[in-house]
A and B are shown apart, each in its own frame.
Chain A
Amino acid sequence: MAEPHAETSHADHDHKPHGWRRWVFATNHKDIGTMYLVASCVMFFIGGSAAMMIRAELFKPGMQLVDPGVFNSLTTLHGLIMIFGAIMPAWVGLANWMIPLQIGAPDMALPRLNNLSFWILPFAFSLLIATLFVPGSAPAGGWTMYPPLTLQFGDSFPMLIFAIHLMGISSILGAINVIVTIMNMRAPGMTLLLMPLFVWAWLITAFLLIAVMPVLAGAVTMMLTDHFFGTSFFNAAGGGDPVMFQHIFWFFGHPEVYIMILPAFGVISEIIPTFSRKPIFGYEAMVYAIASIAFLSFIVWAHHMFTVGLPVSAQLFFMFSTMLIAVPTGVKVFNWAATMWKGSLTFEPPMLFAIAFLFLFSIGGFSGLMLALVPADYQYHGTYFVVAHFHYVLVTGSAFAIFGGVYYWLPKWTGRMYNMALAKWHFWLSTIFVNVLFFPQHFLGLAGMPRRTPDYAVQFTDWNMVSSIGGFAFGVSQLLLPYIVWRCVRAGKPVEGNKAWDGAHGLEWELPSPPPFHSWTVPPSDALVARGASH
């Protein structure tokens, strides 16, 4: 079955556009995926620079480098850039690259929409970053944009709202494309329960996106009308309710966390079976667990705001529903462990990142359970404990899974193998220093250090210094990633055969490395689909 494909690949190489037009007018899923990943990397380093400045300011008590207003802008922009600019576009990039290859489709279903989804992003982030240079300070009310604080910023306020709208539109268009592609473009014979888990994870993520991004858009639109058109949705003086914004925001915000972590579950579910040389343990249970987590994400939002004065019945409901999420998450973690059990394990960089994900994401999960307890949350709320928790989820969870995914599929994308030793250095430096960076923040939070503060009491000095040193080292070690990718593209050793990893299964590994510009122009046969679905 590989023959007709190889044959068409040569013919299709001729249709590849060249020069800047290839990228500006890109409709090819691989090109758009690459652009998303490059843009995400750029935003990761811009957001990372903000993080380095934050950690430099917090290295010791007192004010060192920036004034408090700038510090608050840095934390706000760091959050927005990392969430909407780094993590989400990285997942969309991986989706663009891998979904058509994994389901045997020639491209995404809506290629021009795909181009639009991507090209909205540079405008959105230019607008967001430009807020640093307008009168009246950049947004400094935190990424959550709570009113009335966020309503008080000057010229940057409408820019922030417009940037959020653009990011939301980009995400929604991307999600529509993913759903339409998966529902309609699968190879004949590929039933839903034969799909790779990365595709499943993305299908569910896309449904989350179309459900909650409009809610965020609605919330910021209401804030815009409060600011410019005299409405009082969130203005207590006019009969509105600022706490309502928190409810609406977190109705978006909690599923947003899962939008960032569910594709990570998909990637880990691809990597672990490959390097364990065993099929995934409990494929269907994994699918149902992802769906359950997605469903539960809609009914837990108020655990972010236990301290606003909710009725006890509401606190109990949200506490128990939050704790319930541990059940499907536990199913996943145990299934990954069971997949490795008695497997023929090897520890290449993707597997190292996957194993680190298992341990460190679980730490983030456990601290999440602690935060779910209402009485305990009254102690932890608004402290560095929360900062530690969500960084374990988003850095050692999402970002580590992205690193793992890139190291897993890079040989497929480029047809070349990267420098394994350097990639292992990247792994070990990242894993050691991410813990030096974030683990002490648990202690700081438990001791009562508030988040979003440029100064602190002297008893917090030691752990802040340790955390900052970890932050600088973690940040610098990330420079290895673009270097490794660049070296791989320029001078990596060519991969022999279709499979870069001997334990790999899936339709993407039935294609040559790198895959032709137009792949799966002839749909894969039923036999190939069945062989790809190793479960």
Chain B
Amino acid sequence: MLLMRTMASEQPITLPPDDVERRRRVRRTTLIVTAVVLFFYFGFIALMLVRAHK
């Protein structure tokens, strides 16, 4: 409930500790997965560039 209200209104609310922890985990997982995506994307093009220069 608290989570949804914060999402909808953007008003600063003091979150209970478990919600703070959950948000931290959401942020961490998002960053890790995004890093994997970017690694695949740029890694792949870099790999091809290396191959193209052989």
Q: Which residues of A approach B to under 8 Å, CB–CB?
A: 8, 12, 15, 27, 106-107, 109-111, 172, 175-176, 179-180, 183-185, 210-211, 213-215, 217-218, 221-222, 231-233, 239-240, 244, 248, 518, 521-522
Query: Does B52 touch A at the CB level, under 8 Å?
Result: yes
Query: Does B33 touch A at the CB level, under 8 Å?
Result: yes
Q: How far is the CA of A185 from the CA of B52 in the complex (A)?
A: 44
- When C-beta atoms are compared, the residue in chain B nearest to A177 turns out to be B30
A218 contacts which of B22, B44, B52 (Cβ < 8 Å)? B44
Complex A-B: 9 CB contacts under 8 Å? A8-B1, A15-B4, A106-B3, A110-B26, A172-B37, A175-B33, A215-B44, A221-B45, A522-B1
Q: How far is the CA of A248 from the CA of B26 in the complex (A)?
A: 32
User: Looking at chain B's contact residues, is the secondary structure mostly helix, strand, loop, or mixed?
Assistant: helix
Query: Does B13 touch A at the CB level, under 8 Å?
Result: no
Contact assessment for A215 and B30 in the assembled complex, using a CB-CB cutoff below 8 Å:
no
Contact assessment for A106 and B33 in the assembled complex, using a CB-CB cutoff below 8 Å:
no
| B51 CB, min distance to chain A CBs, angstroms | 8
B4 contacts which of A107, A110, A217, A239 (Cβ < 8 Å)? A107
| A19 CB, min distance to chain B CBs, angstroms | 16
Size category of the B interface is 20 to 34
CB-CB under 8 A from B40, the residues of chain A are 210-211, 214-215, 218
User: Within B21-35, which residues are at the interface with A (CB < 8 Å)?
Assistant: 22, 25-26, 29-30, 33-34
| A147 CB, min distance to chain B CBs, angstroms | 13
Contact assessment for A106 and B1 in the assembled complex, using a CB-CB cutoff below 8 Å:
yes
- When C-beta atoms are compared, the residue in chain A nearest to B5 turns out to be A15
Q: How far is the CA of A217 from the CA of B36 in the complex (A)?
A: 14
Q: How far is the CA of A15 from the CA of B8 in the complex (A)?
A: 9
Contact assessment for A109 and B26 in the assembled complex, using a CB-CB cutoff below 8 Å:
yes
Contact assessment for A210 and B37 in the assembled complex, using a CB-CB cutoff below 8 Å:
yes
Q: How far is the CA of A240 from the CA of B52 in the complex (A)?
A: 7
Known pairs A15-B8, A107-B4, A107-B7 / 13 extra A-B pairs, C-beta < 8 Å: A109-B26, A111-B7, A176-B37, A184-B29, A210-B36, A210-B37, A218-B45, A218-B48, A232-B52, A518-B1, A521-B1, A521-B4, A522-B1
Contact assessment for B34 and A176 in the assembled complex, using a CB-CB cutoff below 8 Å:
yes
Contact assessment for A180 and B37 in the assembled complex, using a CB-CB cutoff below 8 Å:
no
Contact assessment for B26 and A180 in the assembled complex, using a CB-CB cutoff below 8 Å:
yes
| A176 CB, min distance to chain B CBs, angstroms | 5
Instruction: Provide the B1-15 mask, 1 if CB < 8 A to any CB of A, else 0.
Output: 101100110000000
Q: How far is the CA of A111 from the CA of B51 in the complex (A)?
A: 40
Contact assessment for B41 and A218 in the assembled complex, using a CB-CB cutoff below 8 Å:
yes
- When C-beta atoms are compared, the residue in chain B nearest to A215 turns out to be B44
A27 contacts which of B7, B26, B36, B48 (Cβ < 8 Å)? B7
CB-CB under 8 A from A185, the residues of chain B are 22, 26
Q: How far is the CA of A179 from the CA of B32 in the complex (A)?
A: 11
Contact assessment for A210 and B48 in the assembled complex, using a CB-CB cutoff below 8 Å:
no
Q: Which 7 A-B pairs have the closest CB atoms?
A: A214-B41, A214-B40, A218-B44, A521-B1, A180-B29, A218-B45, A184-B25
Contact assessment for A183 and B8 in the assembled complex, using a CB-CB cutoff below 8 Å:
no
Q: How far is the CA of A213 from the CA of B37 in the complex (A)?
A: 9
CB-CB under 8 A from A15, the residues of chain B are 4, 8
Contact assessment for A176 and B33 in the assembled complex, using a CB-CB cutoff below 8 Å:
yes
Contact assessment for B34 and A222 in the assembled complex, using a CB-CB cutoff below 8 Å:
no
CB-CB under 8 A from B36, the residues of chain A are 210-211
Taking A184-B26, A210-B37 as contacts, is the C-beta distance between A233 and B7 under 8 angstroms? no
| B12 CB, min distance to chain A CBs, angstroms | 17
Q: How far is the CA of A210 from the CA of B37 in the complex (A)?
A: 6
| B50 CB, min distance to chain A CBs, angstroms | 12
| B19 CB, min distance to chain A CBs, angstroms | 11
Query: Which of B8, B25, B52 gathers most chain A CB within 10 Å?
Result: B52
Q: How far is the CA of A377 from the CA of B1 in the complex (A)?
A: 57
CB-CB under 8 A from A107, the residues of chain B are 3-4, 7
Contact assessment for B52 and A233 in the assembled complex, using a CB-CB cutoff below 8 Å:
yes
Contact assessment for B30 and A176 in the assembled complex, using a CB-CB cutoff below 8 Å:
yes
Q: How far is the CA of A232 from the CA of B26 in the complex (A)?
A: 41
Q: How far is the CA of A217 from the CA of B30 in the complex (A)?
A: 20
- When C-beta atoms are compared, the residue in chain B nearest to A168 turns out to be B41
- When C-beta atoms are compared, the residue in chain B nearest to A212 turns out to be B40
Contact assessment for B29 and A179 in the assembled complex, using a CB-CB cutoff below 8 Å:
yes
Q: How far is the CA of A107 from the CA of B4 in the complex (A)?
A: 8
Contact assessment for A222 and B33 in the assembled complex, using a CB-CB cutoff below 8 Å:
no
Q: How far is the CA of A402 from the CA of B30 in the complex (A)?
A: 28
CB-CB under 8 A from B30, the residues of chain A are 109-110, 176, 180
Taking A111-B7, A184-B29, A218-B41 as contacts, is the C-beta distance between A231 and B1 under 8 angstroms? no
Q: How far is the CA of A218 from the CA of B44 in the complex (A)?
A: 6
Q: How far is the CA of A504 from the CA of B2 in the complex (A)?
A: 30
CB-CB under 8 A from A521, the residues of chain B are 1, 4
| B4 CB, min distance to chain A CBs, angstroms | 5
Q: How far is the CA of A140 from the CA of B47 in the complex (A)?
A: 29
Q: How far is the CA of A172 from the CA of B33 in the complex (A)?
A: 10
CB-CB under 8 A from A222, the residues of chain B are 45, 48
Q: How far is the CA of A306 from the CA of B14 in the complex (A)?
A: 60
Contact assessment for B26 and A233 in the assembled complex, using a CB-CB cutoff below 8 Å:
no
Contact assessment for A184 and B45 in the assembled complex, using a CB-CB cutoff below 8 Å:
no
- When C-beta atoms are compared, the residue in chain B nearest to A252 turns out to be B44
